Amino acid sequence: MFKSASRRLMSSQATLALGRAPKAPSQPPKLAEKTPYPLPTSSRGVERRRLDDMHHGIARYLKQLTFAPIENPSRILELGSGTGAWSVEAARTFPSAEVIAADMSPLPETLNTLPNLTFKQMNFLEPFPFRPETFDVVHMRFVLMHLPQPDNYIHRLASLLRPGGWLLLEDVNHTLLDANRPIGPGVQALYRGYREHMHNQGVDPGVGARLKNMLETSKKFSEVNEIVIPCYMNPNSTEDLALQELGQILKYSIDGVYVGIMDKVGPTGGITPEILRGWRKEVNDPERDLRIDMHLTWSRKM
């Protein structure tokens, strides 16, 4: 040990003698730096709470993990597991299945480990490290809108499934709609900057609305099902109490997305404190009827 330490010292002295600064050992770039993902890491702090709250809000609304009639799966993969909330529920619902949660961010350290749940750290922009046709279920929620060239993923995801397996692909159409009138200047300003940023990254914030068509035209599935859930930001827009609750959770969550982008990406992400104030003013305006649509799909591989 002493020998190698003194060799290191000698070599740095040699470098100094040549008049060059010693070179810091180069660190490999972190996975997150190799992706356009604009949000903070999902396994800690405010972002973890945001994702967990959103998961539990959706779970309360759906009252089930998925609408797909899944029977005795032996392998389930969740791509973009975030805080692990969905994977944990899948592992509990199907205790005899092996569940793999995959993400570039590790699962939270405090997550209770289940014997049938494992984690794989990976970047979805690179080839999947799984054997083809080995999963009964592949789930991906709120991830495709962060991946460049999202259309290419339908074939990639289908290739992981066994024939008869289920692809559960879920995303929002990140396009606020106002039932009463055109979108206000606050949301317009938000979209100008934010969408330009997303466009420059090659990702599609409106991909949720295209899921069904993408799945059908791929010709990889014997059936494609979709449910579109309107998430109302103004609780007076619906008398359905469950939808009211879901809408409030989504409103708070989307606000957290904008704050997260502002903190992580800075002004090039298209969101400034002023733009944030404009969005908040309009989303809380009782005269407005803003909503965002969530698209849940479940498709059976041929």
Which residues would be at the binding site for ligand SAM (CB under 6 A)? 35, 37, 42, 51, 55, 80, 82, 103-105, 123-125, 141-143, 146-147
| DSSP code for 31 | G
- Which is nearer to ligand SAM, 77 or 234 (by Cβ)? 77
Residue 237, H or E segment: none
Least distance between ligand SAM and beta carbon 47 (Å): 8
Least distance between ligand SAM and beta carbon 242 (Å): 19
- What radius of gyration do the chain's Cα atoms show? 22
Least distance between ligand SAM and beta carbon 236 (Å): 27
Least distance between ligand SAM and beta carbon 94 (Å): 18
* Cα separation values, 47 from 43, 85, 103, 193, 243, Å: 7, 13, 15, 22, 23
- Which is nearer to ligand SAM, 282 or 292 (by Cβ)? 292
Least distance between ligand SAM and beta carbon 122 (Å): 6
Least distance between ligand SAM and beta carbon 164 (Å): 24
User: What are residue 170's DSSP bridge partners?
Assistant: 141, 296
Least distance between ligand SAM and beta carbon 35 (Å): 4
Asked if residues 102 and 76 have their Cβ atoms less than 8 Å apart, the reply is no
Name the token pair of 189: 């300003």
Q: Locate tokens 């289920």: which residue? A: 166
Strand positions, DSSP E, the chain: 75-79, 98-103, 117-121, 135-141, 161-178, 221-232, 290-301
Q: Is the dihedral of CA 211, 216, 221, 227 positive or negative?
A: positive
- Which is nearer to ligand SAM, 91 or 278 (by Cβ)? 91
Asked if residues 270 and 195 have their Cβ atoms less than 8 Å apart, the reply is yes
Q: Is the dihedral of CA 56, 107, 256, 154 positive or negative?
A: negative
Least distance between ligand SAM and beta carbon 63 (Å): 17
- Which is nearer to ligand SAM, 105 or 299 (by Cβ)? 105
Q: Do the bridges between strand 221-232 and strand 290-301 make them parallel or antiparallel, or are there none, so unpaired?
A: antiparallel
- Which is nearer to ligand SAM, 118 or 123 (by Cβ)? 123
- Which is nearer to ligand SAM, 186 or 294 (by Cβ)? 294
What gap in Å lies between CA 156 and CA 165, rounded to an integer? 14
Q: Which residue is nearest to ligand SAM (CB)?
A: 82
- Which is nearer to ligand SAM, 150 or 186 (by Cβ)? 150
- Which is nearer to ligand SAM, 59 or 209 (by Cβ)? 59
